[in-house]
Amino acid sequence: MHQSTNKLAGIRFLQRINKWEARVSVQGEHYSKTFIKQEDAILWREHMLKPSVNLVPTCEILFPQWLENPFGAYSPQTLFIYEQNVRLYLDKAFGHLKPEEITEQAILTFVLNLASSTTNQGKKRSLKSIKNIVGCFSSFLDWCCFKSYLEDNPLKRSKVKNNLSIFYKKNRLENNQANTIKKKALTKEEAKLLIAQAYKRGFQTGLIIEFLIYTGLRIGEAAALTWGDLTYLKTDNLGNVSLFITINKTMDHRTKSIQRSAKCDSNGQVEISYSIAQKLEQWKKIASDYGYPISSLDFLFPFVAQSPKDFSALISSLARKANIKHVTAHGVRHTTITFLASSGHSMQVVQKIARHKTSDMTTAYFDATQLPVTGVTASIEGILG
């Protein structure tokens, strides 16, 4: 009874308007608000009396909360990039400030400093990377505004969070993602030309390009592969083997250090076609003849492991020589997943091979292929007939 009375302190029923009024005094300031339900009035008052409401933390404290993705706004890949941007740039520049203390002049100074700085390789920072970092910070400030609004309106929390989650999910799907994939992915003819051009440069180069197209691995994952990651799991009656690649690490293209997890923790296994399995066996003999170590802990592709970033540049160079459109290392991955989506495989199968964390990312590839939906319902005749 005593506890119930305490909860009703500062709460009264206004019969004239048929509502409950909650009153509270915080640091000498008086606030009041009316509610239809008594429990809503109690909840608002208790929330206003919490000391945390009046404390505005610095960005250093807010960054980890934002990266927990409370609104479900970002994909795992986006979060991975945001975490890097916070660690390398934003925390150093704004970590000691509160969001409301950040001025336009401070942001402009930050951008100018970025533009005048160089990368770890001593190269001039590109406009695209600057835009990505600033866009990341803009997303953080947007989140701070939402967070502040929800603290002042706690009863709208569930509705706002749900609507934001739907909005961001829809925005990701409709933000020209399918068109972006179309632009970056190669056609079947272009992929053949790129493979042929790569083999002209050498067997290892050709095999790596073909391997990337057949598996859809990211360049850092391919660079970190060792001979021990190849696993022969089964052999059929004809002696054909099924070869699987275990992906559980990646190589940072800047520091060339091995990170003991695939990007965004997308660990898994990818099956290799029989033709690629044969070429890998052929490569093992060639690598041994060249003096490359081939123990289970040695790199499968020393050329990529030596410098993933330089090999990415080589892919673009090979594309130019083959007279096809500009393609990046990640564009090769787009190509693989697009081929899988257009081959009639289910979205669940493609998602598993691509190792996408959510189906939203895989859906974009099916939108990009725009497969004709004809003759599908006729299959019912086979079931009922």
Please tell me the number of Cα atoms within 13 Å of 127 on its side-chain side: 0
Q: Is the dihedral of CA 116, 122, 125, 129 positive or negative?
A: negative
**End-to-end Cα spacing for the chain:** 71
Q: What is the mean pLDDT of residues 325-335?
A: 85
Dist. CA 385–CA 372, nearest whole Å: 24
Band of residue 53 on the pLDDT scale cut at 50, 70, 90: very low
Greater confidence, 264 or 326?
326
> Of 313, 301, 304, 310, nearest to 276 (Cα)?
301
Q: Which residues contact 220 (CB under 8 A, 6 or more apart)?
A: 250, 251, 252, 253, 263, 308
Stronger pLDDT, 251 or 99, i.e. the higher one: 99
Single out the residue of 55, 44, 52 nearest to residue 10, CA to CA. Answer: 44
CA distance 211 to 213: 5
Q: What is the reported pLDDT for 120?
A: 72
Question: Which residues touch 279 (CB under 8 Å, ≥6 apart)?
Answer: 207, 210
Query: What's the pLDDT band for 205 if we cut at 50, 70, 90?
Result: very high
Cα separation, 135 vs 141, in Å, equals 10
State yes or no: pLDDT of 331 exceeds 50: yes
Q: What token pair was written down for 216?
A: 């859809």
- In this prediction, residue 27 carries a pLDDT of 64
Alpha carbons 270 and 214: distance in angstroms, whole number: 10
pLDDT attached to residue 123 = 80
pLDDT at position 281, please?
87
* Over residues 87-105, mean pLDDT: 89
Which one-letter DSSP state was computed for residue 51? G
> Alpha helices of the chain — where are they, by DSSP H?
2-7, 38-49, 59-67, 76-85, 91-94, 104-116, 127-152, 157-174, 177-184, 188-201, 203-215, 219-224, 274-290, 302-306, 308-321, 329-342, 347-354, 359-369, 379-384
Stretch (H or E) spanning 235: strand 230-235
The per-residue pLDDT of the chain, averaged, comes to 79
Residue 144 pLDDT level (bands cut at 50, 70, 90): confident
The H-or-E segment that residue 120 falls in is: none
In percent, the amount of the chain with pLDDT more than 90 equals: 14
- Rounded-to-integer distance, Cα 21 and Cα 27, Å: 20
Which residues are registered as beta bridge partners of 335? none
Q: CA–CA separation, 291 vs 299, rounded Å?
A: 13
pLDDT score at 196: 93
Q: Of 22-36, 98-112, 297-311, 344-358, which range is least confident?
A: 22-36
Whether residue 357 contacts residue 274, with contact meaning beta carbons closer than 8 Å, is answered with no
Region 102-117 average pLDDT:
90
DSSP code of residue 187? P
CB hemisphere CA count around 381 (13 angstroms):
4
Using an 8 Å Cβ cutoff, are 263 and 187 in contact? no
> Of the candidates 157, 172, 136, which has an alpha carbon nearest to the alpha carbon of residue 40?
157
Whether the CB-CB separation of 7 and 40 falls below 8 Å is answered with no
- Look up residue 327 and give its two tokens: 């393609």
pLDDT tier, 209 (very low <50, low <70, confident <90, very high otherwise): very high
Crossing angle for the helix pair 59-67 and 127-152, nearest 10 degrees?
Answer: 90
- Helix, strand or coil, per DSSP, at residue 70: coil
